[in-house]
């Protein structure tokens, strides 16, 4: 079924890789102390407005970390580099391993299982839930996208345009998968439709389905937020802060689009009609990257430069929580927010 979906989406033009189906897995259970075979126990603690709750060693007590399974060998792919993360339809969290060439799964108790991709150098980055309970992911180095089912069966396919460098990915309401082609300044679908953006060399990065059912995206180099309608029309809005480098984007409970400004050191909010509000972060050079809507109604995001997880309320109050590693991707659970730590090779969670 998985192969059929990809082939139909490609209209017969995709290139299926050799050994596309692979369910080989490696699993372990990690703990916050770094020991294998034990699940960490979440700590307790609180935070106030623009505060920084720090435990010994620089990590907030509400944070639990789960180390990746020990890597075998010394090849470049033995470094896992966990990157994007999303909640799966099975209740677990699924993530990409950019340098490891794998898709990983972590249970709520911290057990990690890894699934090897046929092309270990493909550099999987973005990941999102699609139809039929499949997880879809982008392959930045291989110019492709792939899908994995809940049993770990994998299919990869190659994007037609060279040097497209797909990054952000999201499941659409009609069953299509949408993703950004940062190298070609296009928005594309799993049906292999591509929509060039009016701003060239804009480097579209983050992507989300908006409250208006349009496809919203960030333009990292174009310094714009845009949306694509179902008819293919593109509208762009310039971010008020110049050279802010908007990166990732999500829909808030207030019906607005919230996004990170990597260089602007702000969290931005834009209404569907294009009205902007920006909120400065208390930590200088925080470099906010990924952002997710929490079950508590707040927006949670990673501070790559600040080595923190932070949240912002709908009225703009920011609270920061320190880590002892650099966070990257982030996803929301029922009672916690989960995130990746590429440099430390860990998956983390912070209780709500």
DSSP assignment of 11-22, as one string? TT---PPTT---
pLDDT attached to residue 335: 94
pLDDT attached to residue 7: 31
pLDDT attached to residue 213: 95
Every domain of the chain and the residues it spans: 47-351
- pTM for the predicted model, two decimal places: 0.85
Residue-by-residue pLDDT tens, the chain, 352 positions: 333 333 333 332 233 232 333 344 554 433 332 222 333 333 323 333 444 444 445 789 999 999 998 865 555 555 789 999 999 999 999 999 999 999 999 999 999 999 999 999 999 999 999 988 899 999 999 999 999 999 999 988 877 678 899 999 999 988 899 999 999 999 999 888 999 999 999 999 999 999 999 999 999 999 999 999 988 999 999 999 999 999 999 999 999 999 999 999 999 999 999 999 999 999 999 999 999 999 999 999 999 999 999 999 999 999 999 999 999 999 999 999 999 999 999 999 999 8
Measured distance CA(104)–CA(87) in Å, rounded: 12
Torsions phi, psi for 5 (to 5 deg):
-60, -45
Measured distance CA(261)–CA(289) in Å, rounded: 7
pLDDT attached to residue 161: 78
Measured distance CA(327)–CA(260) in Å, rounded: 14
pLDDT attached to residue 30: 37
**CATH 2.40.400.10 is held by the domain 47-351:** no
Measured distance CA(335)–CA(351) in Å, rounded: 6
């Amino acid at each position: 079924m998985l192969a059929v979906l990809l082939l139909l989406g490609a209209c017969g033009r995709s290139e299926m890789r050799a050994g596309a189906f692979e369910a080989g897995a490696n699993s372990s259970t990690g703990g916050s102390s770094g020991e294998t075979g034990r699940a960490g126990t979440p700590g307790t603690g609180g935070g106030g407005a623009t505060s920084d709750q720090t435990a010994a060693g620089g990590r907030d007590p509400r944070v639990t970390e789960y180390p990746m399974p020990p890597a075998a060998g010394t090849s470049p792919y033995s470094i896992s580099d966990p990157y994007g993360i999303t909640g799966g339809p099975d209740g677990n969290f699924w993530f990409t391993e950019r340098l490891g060439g794998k898709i990983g799964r972590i249970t709520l108790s911290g057990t990690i299982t890894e699934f090897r991709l046929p092309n270990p150098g493909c550099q999987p980055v973005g990941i999102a839930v699609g139809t039929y309970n499949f997880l879809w992911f982008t392959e930045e180095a291989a110019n492709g996208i792939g899908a994995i089912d809940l049993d770990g069966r994998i299919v990869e396919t190659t994007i037609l345009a060279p040097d497209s460098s797909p990054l952000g990915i999201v499941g659409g309401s009609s069953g299509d998968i949408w993703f950004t082609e940062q190298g070609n300044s296009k928005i594309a679908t799993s049906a292999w439709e591509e929509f060039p953006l009016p701003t060239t060399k804009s480097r579209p990065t983050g992507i989300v389905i908006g409250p208006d059912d349009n496809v919203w995206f960030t333009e990292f180099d174009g310094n714009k937020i845009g949306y694509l309608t179902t008819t293919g029309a593109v509208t762009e809005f310039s971010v008020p802060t110049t050279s802010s480098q908007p990166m990732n984007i999500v829909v808030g409970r207030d019906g607005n689009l919230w996004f990170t400004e990597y260089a602007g050191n702000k969290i931005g909010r834009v209404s569907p009609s294009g009205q902007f509000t920006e909120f400065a972060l208390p930590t200088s050079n925080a470099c906010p990257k990924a952002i997710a809507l929490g079950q508590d109604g707040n927006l949670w995001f990673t501070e790559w430069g600040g080595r923190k997880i932070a949240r912002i309320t709908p009225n703009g109050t920011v609270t920061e929580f320190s880590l002892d590693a650099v966070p990257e991707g982030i996803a929301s659970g029922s009672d916690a927010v989960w995130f990746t730590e590429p440099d430390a090779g860990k998956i983390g969670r912070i209780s709500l």
